[in-house]
Amino acid sequence: MFVSRLCVRPAACARRAAYSTLVHPNLTSHLTPVTEQDISHFASFLPPAAIISTLPPAPSPPDELDQYNNDWIGRFRGQSTTVLKPKTTQEVSKILQWCNQRRIGVVPQGGNTGLVGGSVPVNNEVILSLSNLNKVRSFDPVSGILVADAGCILQSLTDYVAPHNHIMPIDLGAKGSCQIGGNVATNAGGLRLLRYGSLHGTVLGLEVVLPDGTILDQLTTLRKDNTGYDLKQLFIGAEGTLGVITGVSILTPPAPQASNNVILALPSFDNVLPLYQTVKRQLSEILSAFEFIDRTAYDLAVKHGQGRALSDEDVEGAECFVLVETSGGRREHDEEKLNDLLELLLTADKPLVNTGVLSQSPAQFSSLWALREGVTEAVSKEGKAYKYDISVPLSSFKDVVDNTREHLRSKGLLHDKAVKFVLGYGHVGDGNLHLNIVADSYLPEIENALEPYIYEVVSSHRGSISAEHGIGAMKTHALPYSKSEVSIQLMKKIKGIFDPNGIMNPGKVLE
């Protein structure tokens, strides 16, 4: 029976892990460390508050740089001595022009919420924080086109367009701290991709500072522009290796007039694909999300206070769960379609679901999403996470998780002092599986067991080793599992054209 229950998510509890040092001198051997002379130059056009450095003339304590040198999941740690926080595109241009002349490596950094080490140094490069570029430049409520600085936080932009009855086309669990420039630079996917597509389609224009300081102004607000090469696409997903995104023009869709969600408990993973087909057929144009959560992920989320959508009785016998969201223009129409779907599921001769919870209020709607979005936080509380963000056929989701678990068991690594949990969750609508291996600590033997095993599995399915998190520093060696040698050589040629001195985010994307 479908019932409504209220789940209250407690305040997030931040947890920082012990960091592993990421120092690769060979990746930056062609570059020059920041010196006192460089600091003096930056001080000639940046205010004191925009320079954080352990170098003279006004050295800061090293721990002030920790939040910039350390990545969010506690796996990567840089050794940068200097963070620069410009407020304008012109200041970014001056910084890059100087760094290019001096051969100083530059790591562009947004909210630093990435999961593959893409926004922290591999050695002692200068960190270029975009957090002070945080102004909305314009918004057209008729077309829904928003133009904003790259450092604007995603949640702030969501709040900005909401009174105009629009929403951002991207929604992420890290929306309270991630920045739109970083979202674009990593081609972040998120929870709304099924409905609104990728950033390659919704981003209309970019302002980018190239490695030599040249400002490339392609900040168009045109929906159609068929005049030559679409250069902005090169920077979407380039992870700051070709230049620094300083401004974004993006199409924001109208806010749905009605939104609902329901979480369903399934007796078997085998029911997920038939359920997806049924849901797509019944809900059609109002379907906006179809999220998969395996039993281990659900149990960890509940254990660590991310909500309890179902009672113990309801989850008994459930192998996995699905969260379905609808978004449409007329509440009565949408509710009728959703109720017809639920009736069909409940009265089927061979039910695809055991039970479920249908939200009945905005608070319940948010609480069901909190359970799904809270899996990442629950994993971080449980231990050290090896995160693999992969694209594989929907039918193989469970096999990939189960086979990885058995692979680790065969290596003698599945126990409390090594790997504690292997779990999967993700976006069924776009074939994106988040495979998480939760360990007591980061150990070389665990990484050796996981890689290249997981990449070989992905390659066998002709999948992608990175569905939405990017390559960063973590997966550069694995790129050949998803890209041909011809593709990689072309990428290197493009990198060489834009960044011949190799100063931009060294050690990321390409080896």
Q: Average pLDDT, stretch 379-391?
A: 93
Q: Average pLDDT, stretch 332-355?
A: 90
Tens-place pLDDT, residues 422-442: 999 999 888 899 999 999 999
What phi, psi does 438 have (nearest 5°)?
-100, 120
pLDDT (0 to 100) of residue 312: 87
What percentage of the chain reaches a pLDDT higher than 90?
Answer: 78
pLDDT (0 to 100) of residue 22: 59
Tens-place pLDDT, residues 225-255: 899 999 999 999 999 999 999 999 999 999 9
pLDDT band at 496 (very low <50, low <70, confident <90, very high): very high
Residue 4 has pLDDT above 90, yes or no: no
Q: Side by side, which strands form the sheet with 145-149?
A: 136-140, 145-149, 244-251, 203-209, 215-218
pLDDT (0 to 100) of residue 19: 46
Residue 358 has pLDDT above 70, yes or no: yes
What angle is formed at CA 369 by the lines to CA 166 and CA 259, rounded to 5 degrees? 45
Whether omega before 57 lies within 30 degrees of 0, making that bond cis, reads yes
**C-alpha to C-alpha distance for 237 and 187, rounded to whole angstroms:** 4
pLDDT (0 to 100) of residue 173: 81
Tens-place pLDDT, residues 29-40: 899 999 999 999
pLDDT band at 293 (very low <50, low <70, confident <90, very high): very high
Residue 307 has pLDDT above 90, yes or no: no
pLDDT band at 20 (very low <50, low <70, confident <90, very high): low
Residue 10 has pLDDT above 80, yes or no: no
Helix, coil or strand: residue 315: helix
Beta partners for 387?
A: 436
Nearest CA to 47 among 113, 17, 91, 97? 91
pLDDT (0 to 100) of residue 435: 97
Query: Would you list the DSSP string of 357-393?
Result: EE--SHHHHHHHHHHHHTHHHHHHHHSEEEEEEEE--
Average pLDDT across the chain, whole number: 91
Beta partners for 505?
A: none
pLDDT (0 to 100) of residue 81: 98
pLDDT (0 to 100) of residue 364: 86
Q: pTM score, two decimals?
A: 0.89
Top-confidence residue, 74 or 107: 107
Given a contact cutoff of 8 angstroms between Cβ atoms, the answer to whether 296 and 423 are in contact is: yes
pLDDT (0 to 100) of residue 357: 83
pLDDT band at 363 (very low <50, low <70, confident <90, very high): confident
Q: Average pLDDT, stretch 71-82?
A: 90
CA 231 to chain centre: 23
Question: Which residue is it, tokens 């030559």?
Answer: 228
pLDDT (0 to 100) of residue 9: 28
List C-alpha distances in Å: 312 to 292, 299, 317, 357, 378. 19, 11, 10, 13, 19
**C-alpha to C-alpha distance for 197 and 289, rounded to whole angstroms:** 12
